[in-house]
Amino acid sequence: MKEYSAFDILGPVMIGPSSSHTAGAARLGKIASEIAGTGFYKVVFYLHGSFAKTYKGHGTNKALVAGILGLDPSDEKLRDSFDIAKSKNIKVEFIEADLGYQHPNSVKIVFKYHDKEDFYVMGSSIGGGSIIINNINGVQVEFTGAYPTIILKYPDRKGVISVISSILANAEINIATMRVTREGNIATMICELDSQITDDVIKEISNFKDLAYIRFINTRRS
Amino acid sequence: MFNKGSELINLCNEKQAKIFEIVIEKEQKTSGLSYDEVIKKMKETLEVMKSSATSALNKEIVSVSGLTGGNSKRVQDYKNNHKTISGEFINSAMAKALSTSEVNASMGKICASPTAGASGIVPSALLAAQEKLNVDDDMLVNALFTAAGIGEIVAKNATVAGAEGGCQAECGVAAAMAAGAITEMAGGTPSQALTAASFALINIMGLVCDPIAGLVEYPCNLRNASGVINALISADLALAEVQSLIPFDEVVEAMYKVGKSLPESLRETAQGGIADTPTGRKLSDEVIK
């Protein structure tokens, strides 16, 4: 049986009106932008299902924009996120879309850059402010952002899993979950951890050769 | 640790402790935080609740969609200027419940208790009881742990999501949490606290979730106002030693079964109930476009 904290029941402290359509949307935006990386000049949100139907009344649009600007779901600046985006010269666009067989509260967030190709992240808000990220640039993934997370893409070869796990073990970081998938010869590893990722670990893993993509997400659900 | 109401009562009896003491101890164990840290965190939660429960009393706050707003102030003004039917205490509690509801719908800061849609009930019930019992904020913080313990049992054995169990799982559970917390704060035993929680759930068993346009506004705000009253009277019934014939755990299970047997149209889809009235549909068309 899942254990709850008193602050799961009396919480989260959040900007209303809906934990799934507002707080969850802000978290989706925030984690997506951490995965994509900064420097984007425009973000397009493809809203699916209930997100598409009710996003204006729930402030889902404002929450998503607040998220990509790095604001937390409890930040009262959330409702002014459009103005903040404007002042930072970041354009936003909302498109109602059918993303296929997805949870009803899903969004595909496309980040546009001047100097590199588009980057997209897809995720769902699954209730109570919790989320799942399920696609990064076409690669199926599944993680919640509730834990510090390492995302790696690399040409598949022997021994990577054991090297990563020993780097983490040496730093006394426990692995909560580890998933590795492969498309073609490119492997994607998602590793959720029980404690924050230290600078030394980031440095050591970044030294790996042939990494196609690497991201460290230290946000923890407060 | 406890998963059931019966286990919680056994723990209270074994340790000669109140519910809130058991819940605080468990929170310390699972989070690794000290007693002071856990209390401090709940104090911050209480501050958010106080602010949301009072900020719409004297200022008209309108929702993002424009569908609702200003009701907290209406009730507050009415209470201050008229001879009311149900009295100052009840009207004051309703105004506070509406306040949090309106803050929530206007993209203000609230604490989900246990959800955003039902977030008006626990704060208003506790603040009303605080006035009546003349207790300090430390007692309210303890009461919030009692409320969290009761909510946790429901979350583990049933649901607190309207999409899964209807409004009884949101406003019903919020009222149950508040009823139990007030009962304990007023000097009731742990058993009486769970009896109060049972009454609150029984009183609204089967309540559907039918928000107009799928927005957390109407009838949500009305059900926050009636939910706080449900909490207050359930606490009084239990403190008066009215006996609950059905144990809390069985009431929770019944609530879950009822929730699951509700058609999907009555579980937060805006396809039934008040949302599916001709006027409800018309209002929905107006706010959604």
User: Residue A152 above 90 pLDDT?
Assistant: yes
124-163 in chain B: CB under 8 A from chain A: 144-145, 147-149, 151-152, 155-156, 160-161, 163
Q: What pLDDT does B173 receive? A: 98
What pLDDT does B163 receive? 86
Interface check A10 vs B, CB under 8 A: yes
Q: What would the pLDDT profile of B229-263 be if each residue is shown by its tens digit? A: 999 999 999 999 999 999 999 999 999 999 999 99
Chain A residues near residue B155 by CB distance under 8 angstroms: 4, 8-9
Question: Does position A220 have pLDDT exceeding 70, yes or no?
Answer: no
Query: How many percent of chain B have pLDDT more than 70?
Result: 100
Structure-token match 């208003």, residue found: B124
Q: Cβ–Cβ of A53/B288 closer than 8 Å? A: yes
Instruction: Reply yes or no on whether the pLDDT at A197 is more than 50.
Output: yes
Q: At B242, list the tokens.
A: 């009215």
Q: Which segments of chain B does DSSP mark as H helices, in order? A: 5-15, 19-31, 35-54, 71-81, 88-105, 121-133, 137-157, 162-165, 171-185, 190-203, 220-239, 248-261, 278-288
- pLDDT computed for residue B256 by the predictor: 97
Distance from CA of A170 to the nearest CA of B (A): 23
Provide mean pLDDT across the span A120-125: 96
Contact: A13, B48; criterion CB under 8 Å: yes
| Band of pLDDT at residue A219, cut at 50, 70 and 90 | low
Domain limits of chain B? 5-288
Contact A215/B at CB under 8 A: no
Q: B109, A15: Cβ pair inside 8 Å?
A: yes
ipTM value, please give it: 0.96
d(CA A30, CA A24): 10
Shortest distance, CA B20 to any CA of chain A (angstroms): 10
Given a cut of 70, is residue A11 above it in pLDDT? yes
Token reading at B165:
């169990």
pLDDT in tens, B126-170: 999 999 999 999 999 999 999 999 999 999 999 998 988 999 999
Burial B13-26 (b: 16+ CB within 10 A, else e): eeeeebbbbbbbbb
- Does residue A221 register a pLDDT over 60? no
Contacts with B213 from chain A: Cβ below 8 Å: 54, 57
Q: Is A54 exposed, middle or buried (0-12, 13-18, 19+ CB in 10 A)?
A: buried
Name the residue among B30, B105, B111 with its Cβ closest to that of A11: B111
Residue B174 binned pLDDT confidence (cut-offs 50, 70, 90): very high
Question: Inter-chain contact A7–B155, Cβ cutoff 8 Å?
Answer: no
Mean pLDDT score, B80-91: 97
Please tell me the predicted confidence (pLDDT) of residue A129: 86
Reply yes or no on whether the pLDDT at A95 is more than 60.
yes
Scanning B28-67 for CB atoms below 8 A from A yields 30-31, 38, 41-42, 44-45, 48, 63-65, 67
pLDDT band at B287 (very low <50, low <70, confident <90, very high): confident
Domains and CATH numbers, chain A: 6-137 (3.30.1330.90), 149-217 (3.30.70.260)
Tell me how many residue pairs between chain A and chain B have CB atoms under 8 A apart: 139
Dihedral sign from CA coordinates of A151, A155, A160, A161: positive
CB contact under 8 A, B214 and A50: yes
Averaged over A13-35, what is the pLDDT? 94
H/E element holding B59? none
Indicate if the pLDDT at residue A91 is higher than 70.
Answer: yes
